[in-house]
């Protein structure tokens, strides 16, 4: 049974979640729907979105909208927002979750590959924000949550473009909040550390990343599950966070630091 409070009840609100077919995006879409929101799911894979929409329908009895969208294409992003408005008549929440990368040394990274990674992880956030502003404002304001990464703060060897893009997302969050908050639109960011998902595990395997060794460096001694990040998104879009804007919340298993080992 889903327990709702007035503060987290999203009934009557409409949310767009990009990258909504897998991982953090999927769990976020499910959680927002369980709290009463009408959800519009977007990613390039319509098949994965359909599976998420089916789960939402089974659990909540409501139909989520599925819109195949390449968030690197601004015309498709605008069409996505228009679809949300045509379907539900309003827009209240935008979760910019679409993204991804592959690990590759800078010396081997082609300029075109750099451009694609920046477009997917950073330019798409600007594009989505720009397309949503007038609708969020028209409905009395709303909330935008951008998904960054711990790579934005600490970097990732082999992930120069991704780390740079996510750093840009965090600064874009702050500037967006400064510009849009007077118009009733809050903008915040979640920066997850290693989070277990199908896409992440593929990337870890390709990069031969030692997940167990990384977990030992985390105070919580484990990587995150996607639903744990989704819960933070729910907090940020809810009235619990009504006085938060321009913030970057780090969800990375705790601070990694040197010192004595037997505390």
Q: Residue 15 pairs with which residues in a beta bridge?
A: 39, 93
Token pair belonging to 157: 């060897």
The β-bridge relationship of strands 38-43 and 185-192 is: unpaired
CA-nearest of 230, 126, 221 to 179 is 126
User: CB under 8 Å to 261, separation ≥6 — which residues?
Assistant: none
From 88, 102, 162, 243, the catalytic residue: 162
The β-bridge relationship of strands 142-147 and 248-251 is: unpaired
Q: Residue 39 pairs with which residues in a beta bridge?
A: 15
Instruction: Tell me how crowded residue 68 is: count the other CB atoms within 10 A of its CB.
Output: 16
Q: Is 162 a catalytic residue?
A: yes
Determine the Cα–Cα distance for residues 149 and 164; give it in Å rounded to an integer.
10
Instruction: Tell me how crowded residue 182 is: count the other CB atoms within 10 A of its CB.
Output: 8
Catalytic positions, written as ranges? 162
């Amino acid at each position: 049974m889903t327990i709702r409070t007035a503060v987290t009840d999203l009934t009557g609100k409409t949310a767009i979640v990009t990258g909504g077919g897998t991982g953090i995006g999927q769990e976020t879409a499910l959680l927002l729907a369980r709290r009463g929101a009408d959800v519009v799911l977007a990613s390039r894979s319509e098949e994965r979105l359909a599976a998420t929409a089916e789960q939402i329908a089974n659990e909540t009895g409501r139909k989520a909208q599925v819109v195949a969208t390449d968030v690197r294409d601004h015309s498709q992003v605008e069409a996505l927002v228009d679809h949300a408005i045509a379907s539900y008549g309003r827009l209240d929440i935008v979760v910019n979750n679409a993204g991804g990368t592959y690990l590759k040394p800078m010396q081997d990274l082609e300029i075109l590959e750099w451009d694609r990674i920046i477009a997917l992880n950073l330019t798409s956030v600007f594009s989505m924000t720009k397309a949503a502003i007038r609708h969020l404002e028209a409905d009395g304001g709303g909330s935008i949550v951008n998904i960054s990464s711990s790579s934005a703060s600490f970097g990732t060897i082999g992930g120069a473009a991704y780390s740079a893009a996510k750093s840009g997302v965090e600064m874009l969050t702050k500037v967006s909040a400064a510009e849009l908050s007077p118009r009733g639109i809050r903008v915040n960011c979640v920066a997850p550390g290693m989070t277990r998902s199908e896409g992440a595990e593929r990337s870890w395997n390709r990069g031969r990343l030692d997940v167990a060794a990384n977990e030992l460096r985390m105070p919580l001694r484990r990587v995150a599950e996607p639903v744990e990040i989704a819960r933070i998104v729910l907090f940020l879009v809810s009235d619990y966070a009504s006085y938060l804007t321009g913030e970057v919340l780090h969800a990375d298993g705790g601070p990694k630091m040197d010192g004595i080992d037997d505390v």
